[in-house]
Chain A
Amino acid sequence: MMKVTKILSVAATMLAVAPIAAQAEDTIKIGFVGAFTGALAPYDQPTLQGVQLAVDQINKAGGIDGKFKIELITRDMRSETAQSAVMTQEVIDQQVNVLLSPCDVDPSVAAGQIAQAAQIPTIAPCASTPTLPGIVGDYMFANYTADNLQATALAYFAQKQGYKNALILLSRDTPYTEKLPLYFAKAFENKGGKIAGTVEFKMGQQDFSAEVTKIKGISPAPDVIMTAAYEPDFPAFIKQLRSAGIKTPVLGSDGIDSPTTLGLGEVAEGVVFSNAGYPSEGSSLAKFNADFKAFFKQDPSAVYTATGYDVIKVIEAAIKADGDKLDGPSIRDAIDNLENVQVATGTITYKGMNRVPLRVVALNRIVNGQKTHVEDIVPNGADVPPAE
C-alpha cells in the first residue's frame, strides 16, 4: 500500500512539473548586449525601448506564432569592446537563441565573433557600417539603414532634382562621416552625376571659414553639397555657409535628424536629409509612435526605438518562416531568406543582400523649422555601392 502511494505521489509530482517544463521549452531567449552607460548609451537605450515594446506586444498576443514567449536577457557592456565580449559570453551561457549586439562596429564584432563560433544568429540593431556582417561571418546580420543604402537614396534624389555637380564634405574622423559621402559620390557618379570637389573637415573644429572659402572657389560651382556631418559640426558649417551667401542646396544624413537641426532657423531651411522612416499619417511608423507613447508615456526619443522594434519583428518573421525551429542554423537561414517583412519603419528584405538589409530610406525636408516628408525610397540593390 505504501508503495502505491509513493508511486502515485511521484506521478503526481511529474504531472505537476510537466507543463512547466513544456512551457520552458516554448520560450525563445533573446540576448541584448548593449550600452546602458557610456558613449553608446544614447543609441542602445532607445533601441532597447523599441525591443521591449515589441517583446511586450508579442508576448501579450500569446508569443511568436502563438507559441513562443520571448524572454529578454539584457546586459550592460558600458560602451567597452572588451566588456562586450564578456557580456556576450554571459548571455550565450544562458542559452540565448538570438543575440542583439551594441550600436557600434567594434563591440558588435567582438560580440558577433563569439556568437558566430556558437552558431547563434546575431543582429546589430543600429550599427550602420555595411561591412560589419562580412567581417564577422554568416551568423551576423545588420538591421539599421546601412550607410551605403542611405547614400544611394540621397543620390537618387540628387539626380531627380537635376543636380549635375555635387560637392562632398567629409571628415576622416569616423567611418560614418567619411564613408557615407564617399558612397554618395559613387552612387551619384553611377547615375551620371559629377563630383565637383571633396572638402575635408575635422570633427569639432567650430570654424568652417576655410572650408566655405574653398567651396566658393570651386568651378563649376556645385549644384548641391552633400555631407554626413552632424552636431556640433553641421550647425556650425551650415551657419557659416549661408552667412557667406552660398545658397547651394545641402543634403544630409540621419546624423542631423535631431531637434537641434530643426531649431537652426533660416539657415537650415530647405535642407534635405535621409533617415530610417517618416511617420506620415496612417503609416506603420505613426502607429508605432502611438503605441510607444501609450506604453512608455513619452514620445520616442529617436528613430532607434523604431529600428529596435524592427529587429524583434524580423526575428518573429524568421521563426514563423522556418516552421518554429529555434536552433541557430535554422533561424540564420530563415533570416537570410526574409523578403518584405512588415516592420515599424516599413519593409525589410534580407534575401540576396548578404545580411545587410534592403529597407526604406525616408527623405525629409526642413520647412519652417519642421520636418516634412519628401518621399520614401527603397533603392535598387544593384545601385548600392559595395561596402568597403
Chain B
Amino acid sequence: MAVSAYVVPQAAKSAIVLGAIVAIPCLLIFALAQGPIITTTTNFLVMLTAVAALGIFSGNSGILSFGQCSFMALGAQISATLTIAPALKKSAFPLLADAIIQSHFSLPIALLITLIVVGLIALAIGLAICRLNGSSATIATLGLLIIVESLIVAAQGFTRGNQAVYGIPKMTTLPVALGLAVATLVIARIYRDSRAGLLLRATRENHAAAQSIGINVPSQRLVAWVLSAMLSGLAGAMMAHMLTVFSPKQFYFDLTFSIIVMQVVGGLASVTGSLAGTVLITVVVEILRRSENGLDLGFVQIPQIFGVTEIGLCLIIIATLYTRREGLLGFAEIDRFLPFLRPRRSDLPRDTTAVADISRKPTGILRIDAISKAYGGLLAVDKVSLELPVGQILGLIGPNGSGKTTLLGCIAGTHQPTGGRITIDDIDVTGLPAHRIAHLGIGRTFQNIRLFTHLTALENVQAALTQRWPQMGYEALTVAALHLLADLKIADLAQRDAGTLSYGQQRRLEIARALALEPRFLLLDEPAAGMNESETEDLLGILAWLVQGRGLGLLIVDHDMQLIMRLCNQIAVLNKGELIALGSAADVQQSQAVREAYLGRRHAERIVA
C-alpha cells in the first residue's frame, strides 16, 4: 500500500522562517566580521545541527537519548577516515583495508557515505532500543554511548584508539556549516509535522492510545531514530572537519550534557526550541566568559572570577526547569508567535463532504469464545463467551475487580488472553498486538480519557485517519478529520490543543479519533465516568447515533446502571471473572446471581423474600 509522504504547507513555511532566522545573521557575520566570532558562529552552527538532530528523536518520541553523541563519534570517525590523506592514513590506521587507505574523498561524497553508514548502524541498534519504553530506553542509550566509545578505543588500528585523530582537512567553513545546519533544521521541522512525525508525537503523548489507533510504536520510533542518528553523524563529521582533530573522549559525557542542556532549555519537544536553546546558551556563555576576565562598569569593578560560565549555565538550567519545566518554548513552534504562519480558519478546507463513503453500514459479528486470562494462580477472566453483532449495544457490568477491564483489554489486544478465541466473522484476532487489532475493525476509548494532549484536536483525528488511509494526502486528511469533528460537533475546536478542551469535549474527541479507523466495533470503558447529568445525556445521544447512524456494535463497560439499562440491547454481568448473567435489562435485574454478586447472599435473599 502506498504511503503518502506529505509535507504540511504550514510546516514548510515555518521551516523556511526558521532557516532564515538562522541564515541572515550568520551571513551578515560572515560578510562583515572576522576573527574569533567566525569560529564561534561556526561552532554554534555545528551545535545547532547536533541539537536539532537530538530533537528529531527525543523531542518527538519523548525518550531522552544520551546516545546521539555516539553517532557523532561515528560520523567524525568515518568522515575523517574518508578524507585524511592516504599517506597519513597508512600510519594512523594501519589495519584498515588497502582500498580504504588509498581512498581520498571530497567533503560531499565523504558526508554522503558517512550518513549512509551511520544510518545502517543506527538501524541495527534501533531495532533493539526502539522496543524499549521510557526510562529503560534512556538507560539503553546511555549504554550505547559507553559501548561505542569503548569500541572506538578498542579498535585501535582501525581507529586511533584513545589517541587524537589529526590531519583531518578543515572543510567546515561558516557557509558550509550554515548550509548543513539550516538543512537539518528544515528537515527536523518538516519531519515533525509529517505523517511519521505526527504518529511518533502521538506515541509520545500516550502510548496506549497510540496503539489503540493502530500505531506500531517501535517502527515509528525507528524512523526518527535512524534520521536523528544520521543527522547526529553529520554534526559529528562537521565538528571533525571544523576542529581538524578529535579523540573519542570528545564525543562523550561533556558534549552529551551540553547538547541535552540546549535542547531541554529551549524546549525538548520543539524544533524552534532547539534553535532557541542553542542561541540562548551560546549567547549567555559568550557574555559570561567575557565577564570572567573582570569588568569595569564605571561605578563598580567586577574582579576576575573564573567559573562564572559554569555557574551561570547551571543557574539557567535550574531557572528553566523551575519556571518552565518543558523548556522555553515547551511544545510550541515558531508558528504560534508569528500570526502570518498560523493557519487561519479560512485556510481550512470548507468542503467537508468529500469524505470516504460512510453511508455503507458495516456488517459482522464479534465473537468471544471461552476467553480466559490468568495472572499466576488468579483467574481474572474465566471462560467468558459473548457475541456482539454490529448495530447492537452490549453492556458489561459487574462489581469492582470482576474482570471487566481485563476482558476489554483481551479484546483490544493490550492483554494477552491465556485461553479461548476472539474472532470477527471468520478472522481470528486472538492475542494480536493492539495496533493490529485496531486495523481489524475494533476501536476503543479509555476509562480515563487518553488523548494526545499536546496535539491539536485536528491532529488527534488525523493521526488515526492516516493509519486507516496511509495513502491520503494532507489536504484530504484535513477534510476527513474536520468531517469527523463536525460529526461530533467539535469542528470549531479543531486547532485547540486536546489538553485544553473540557471533559465532555475530550470524550467527543476520543470517540471521533476512534471512529477515524472506521471500526465495526467500539469498546467504551466507562464513557460516562465523571460526567454530570447533562454531559451524560449528551453522551447517550452520541452513542445512539453511533449505533443507529453509523451502524457500529458497541461494547460498553460502566457503573452507571441508568445508562446501561437504558442503552443496551443485552447486558452481560461478570463476577470474579465469570459470566454470571446474560440477557436483557429486565432479565438481568431479575437474576438471583446478579443480586448476590452485588449485595452479598444474605441481603439478596432478604430482598427476594
CB of A163 within 8 A of chain B?
no
CB of B355 within 8 A of chain A?
no
Within 8 A of A (CB), among B149-163: 153-154, 156, 161-163
CB of B220 within 8 A of chain A?
no
* Chain B hits for A81, CB < 8 A: 243, 245-246, 250
CB of A78 within 8 A of chain B?
yes
* Chain A hits for B293, CB < 8 A: 74
* Chain A hits for B247, CB < 8 A: 105-106
The answer to whether B307 touches A37 (Cβ under 8 A) is yes
CB of A339 within 8 A of chain B?
no
Bound together, the chains give a CA A109 to CA B160 distance in angstroms of 15
CB of A36 within 8 A of chain B?
yes
Interface flags, A98-141, vs B, CB<8A=1, else 0: 00000001100110010000000000000001010001000000
The answer to whether A82 touches B163 (Cβ under 8 A) is no
A105-B163, A106-B164 known; A82 and B43 CB under 8 Å? yes
CB of B591 within 8 A of chain A?
no
Bound together, the chains give a CA A129 to CA B306 distance in angstroms of 28
Contact of A78 among B167, B170, B245, B309 (CB under 8 A): B309
**B228 CB, min distance to chain A CBs, angstroms:** 22
The answer to whether B164 touches A86 (Cβ under 8 A) is no
Within 8 A of A (CB), among B224-254: 239, 242-247, 250, 254
CB of A161 within 8 A of chain B?
no
Contact of B162 among A36, A87, A113, A178 (CB under 8 A): A178
The answer to whether A172 touches B154 (Cβ under 8 A) is yes
* Chain A hits for B541, CB < 8 A: none
* Chain B hits for A172, CB < 8 A: 153-154, 156, 161-162
Interface flags, B26-62, vs A, CB<8A=1, else 0: 0000000001101110010010000000000000000
A93-B35, A135-B166, A135-B167 known; A110 and B245 CB under 8 Å? yes
The answer to whether B242 touches A113 (Cβ under 8 A) is no
Chain B residues touching A, range: 20 to 34
CB of A85 within 8 A of chain B?
yes
CB of A80 within 8 A of chain B?
yes
Contact of A109 among B244, B309, B310 (CB under 8 A): B244
CB of A223 within 8 A of chain B?
no
CB of B289 within 8 A of chain A?
yes
Question: Which residue on A lies nearest to B34, using beta carbons?
Answer: A93
CB of A205 within 8 A of chain B?
no
CB of A219 within 8 A of chain B?
no
Bound together, the chains give a CA A304 to CA B365 distance in angstroms of 84
* Chain A hits for B497, CB < 8 A: none
Bound together, the chains give a CA A174 to CA B243 distance in angstroms of 20
Bound together, the chains give a CA A273 to CA B332 distance in angstroms of 60
The answer to whether B243 touches A110 (Cβ under 8 A) is yes
* Chain B hits for A36, CB < 8 A: 292, 306-307
A172-B154, A172-B162, A173-B162 known; A106 and B39 CB under 8 Å? no
Bound together, the chains give a CA A386 to CA B166 distance in angstroms of 18
Bound together, the chains give a CA A355 to CA B141 distance in angstroms of 43
Bound together, the chains give a CA A36 to CA B310 distance in angstroms of 11
* Chain B hits for A173, CB < 8 A: 153, 162
* Chain B hits for A174, CB < 8 A: 162
The answer to whether A82 touches B154 (Cβ under 8 A) is no
The answer to whether A113 touches B244 (Cβ under 8 A) is yes
* Chain A hits for B167, CB < 8 A: 135
The answer to whether A106 touches B246 (Cβ under 8 A) is yes
CB of A381 within 8 A of chain B?
no
The answer to whether B166 touches A109 (Cβ under 8 A) is yes
* Chain B hits for A113, CB < 8 A: 170, 244-245
Q: Chain A CB within 10 Å — which of B164, B167, B247, B309 has the most? A: B164
Q: Chain A CB within 10 Å — which of B38, B163, B292, B307 has the most? A: B163
CB of A65 within 8 A of chain B?
no
Bound together, the chains give a CA A51 to CA B64 distance in angstroms of 44
Bound together, the chains give a CA A79 to CA B309 distance in angstroms of 13
* Chain B hits for A76, CB < 8 A: 289, 292, 306, 309
CB of A89 within 8 A of chain B?
yes
* Chain A hits for B254, CB < 8 A: 38, 79-80
Question: Which residue on A lies nearest to B289, using beta carbons?
Answer: A76
CB of A90 within 8 A of chain B?
yes
Question: Which residue on A lies nearest to B239, using beta carbons?
Answer: A82
* Chain B hits for A37, CB < 8 A: 306-307, 309-310
The answer to whether B244 touches A110 (Cβ under 8 A) is yes
Interface flags, A153-188, vs B, CB<8A=1, else 0: 000000000000000000011110010000000000
The answer to whether A90 touches B306 (Cβ under 8 A) is no
**A48 CB, min distance to chain B CBs, angstroms:** 11
24 pairs, A vs B, C-beta closer than 8 Å: A36-B307, A37-B306, A37-B310, A76-B306, A79-B254, A80-B254, A81-B243, A81-B246, A82-B43, A82-B243, A85-B243, A86-B36, A87-B36, A89-B38, A93-B36, A105-B245, A109-B245, A129-B163, A131-B163, A172-B156, A172-B162, A175-B161, A175-B162, A175-B163
Chain B residues proximal to chain A, CB less than 8 Å: 35-36, 38-40, 43, 46, 153-154, 156, 161-164, 166-167, 170, 239, 242-247, 250, 254, 289, 292-293, 306-307, 309-310
Interchain residue pairs A-B with the least CB separation, the first 3: A36-B306, A89-B36, A109-B245
Contacts A86-B36, A173-B153 known; 6 new A-B pairs at CB < 8 A: A37-B309, A82-B243, A86-B40, A106-B164, A106-B246, A110-B244
